[in-house]
């Protein structure tokens, strides 16, 4: 496995792979790898001859007062896990190389970026769309694998690659969870033992919402109200949003149907956690 920091070198390796007929699969991350990331790498390994993992804590997707400085980082641990997962290249550029002085170009996806995390984290998806475009231009993947844990992010990337005719197949993978249901996240390390227990309220809320729907409750307002009551009972939980949206448009829905996704963002202490899931079981 190679560790590449230079953008030029990564681009040359990608071009070399492409002329020799190799398919490149790509998993972009911010590092501090967990089993969710490893499930994406496993899929990437199946889809390409050359598996590239990027590790880059992207400053442009963090707002003021967010956790950019504190975001957990451990490149050596990540490299060990990546090697075991069969990664061929880790691409880990510096922020200075990605955004040099006089950097001035950003990618804006309209519409689906406005609701949910787009509303509570202004500029976040502009940063995501920009860095993913740059990474695609550098790594030149045939396929790129993302998690549905970041449901809106995946929708934004699908929209962007379609709109911009980017020649990349976007693959979405299911949310990888701890045994007790907590969605894996690099940010889970911020949680104290007590907060870790309280954080279960997110996945439990999904289960409760599904039960309500299965029992015939289709009013989004009623479902959301009962989840608000449940979540607010946790002493350290503070709701950012609970919404029921159409899986494609990400517009709010008044009534649950086959396309409904419940999306939650909840602070547990200072840690912002997200989760989501369909409300009607797909047959």
Catalytic residues: 37
Count of C-beta atoms within a 10 Å radius of residue 37: 26
Which residues in the 123-152 window bind ligand AMP by CB under 6 A?
146-147, 149-150
Alpha-helix runs per DSSP H in 85-219: 95-98, 116-120, 124-139, 151-163, 193-198, 200-214
Residue of 231, 220, 221 whose CA lies nearest to 279: 220
- The piece of 88-96, 98-106, 173-181, 232-240 that touches ligand AMP (CB under 6 A) is 173-181
Angle at 146 between CA 8 and CA 73, to 5 degrees: 65
Minimum gap (Å) between residue 277 Cβ and ligand AMP: 12
Minimum gap (Å) between residue 127 Cβ and ligand AMP: 11
3-class DSSP assignment, residue 257: coil
3-class DSSP assignment, residue 47: helix
Q: Is 261 in the site for ligand AMP (CB under 6 A)?
A: no
Is the Cβ of residue 151 or residue 231 nearer to ligand AMP in the bound state?
Answer: 151
- Tell me how many residues contact ligand AMP (CB under 6 A): 17
With CB under 6 A as the contact rule, the residue among 36, 93, 118, 277 that binds ligand AMP is 36
- The piece of 12-20, 30-38, 104-112, 232-240 that touches ligand AMP (CB under 6 A) is 30-38
With CB under 6 A as the contact rule, the residue among 10, 53, 160, 183 that binds ligand AMP is 183
Cα–Cα distance, 14 to 280 (Å, whole number): 41
Residue of 178, 132, 208 whose CA lies nearest to 273: 178
Residues 145/43, Cβ–Cβ less than 8 Å: yes
Is the Cβ of residue 80 or residue 257 nearer to ligand AMP in the bound state?
Answer: 80
Residue of 125, 123, 62, 60 whose CA lies nearest to 96: 60
With CB under 6 A as the contact rule, the residue among 52, 79, 156, 184 that binds ligand AMP is 184
Q: Structure tokens of 192?
A: 């104290």
With CB under 6 A as the contact rule, the residue among 37, 47, 126, 159 that binds ligand AMP is 37
3-class DSSP assignment, residue 123: coil
Window 150-169: contact mask with ligand AMP (x via CB under 6 A): x-------------------
- The piece of 3-11, 32-40, 82-90, 241-249 that touches ligand AMP (CB under 6 A) is 32-40
Is the Cβ of residue 146 or residue 278 nearer to ligand AMP in the bound state?
Answer: 146
CA distances from 11 to 93, 131, 152 (A): 12, 15, 28
Is the Cβ of residue 4 or residue 131 nearer to ligand AMP in the bound state?
Answer: 131
Interface contacts to ligand AMP, rule CB under 6 A:
29-30, 36-37, 39-40, 146-147, 149-150, 173, 175-176, 183-186
């Amino acid at each position: 496995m190679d560790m590449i920091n230079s953008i030029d070198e990564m681009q040359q390796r990608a071009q070399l792979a492409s002329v020799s007929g190799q398919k490149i699969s790509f998993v972009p991350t911010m590092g501090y790898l967990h089993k969710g990331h490893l499930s994406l790498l496993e899929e990437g390994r199946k889809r390409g001859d050359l598996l590239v993992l990027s590790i880059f804590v992207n400053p442009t997707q963090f707002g003021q007062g967010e956790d950019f400085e504190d975001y957990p980082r451990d490149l050596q641990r990540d490299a060990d896990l990546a090697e075991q997962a069969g990664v061929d290249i880790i691409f880990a550029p510096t922020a200075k190389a990605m955004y040099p002085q006089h950097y001035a170009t950003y990618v804006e996806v309209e519409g689906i970026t406005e609701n949910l995390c787009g509303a509570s984290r202004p500029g976040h998806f502009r940063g995501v769309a920009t860095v993913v475009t740059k990474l695609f231009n550098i790594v030149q993947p045939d396929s790129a694998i993302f998690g549905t844990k970041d449901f809106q992010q995946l929708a934004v990337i699908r929209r962007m690659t379609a709109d911009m005719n980017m020649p990349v197949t976007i693959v979405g993978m299911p949310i990888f969870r701890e045994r007790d249901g907590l969605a894996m996240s690099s940010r889970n390390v911020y949680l104290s033992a007590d907060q870790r227990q309280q954080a279960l309220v997110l996945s439990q809320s999904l289960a409760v919402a599904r039960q309500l729907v299965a029992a015939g409750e289709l009013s989004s307002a009623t479902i959301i109200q009962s989840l608000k009551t449940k979540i607010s009972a946790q002493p350290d939980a503070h709701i950012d949003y609970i919404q029921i949206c159409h899986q494609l448009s990400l517009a709010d829905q008044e009534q649950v149907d086959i396309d409904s996704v419940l999306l939650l963002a909840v602070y547990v202490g200072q840690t912002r956690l997200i989760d989501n899931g369909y409300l009607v079981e797909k047959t």
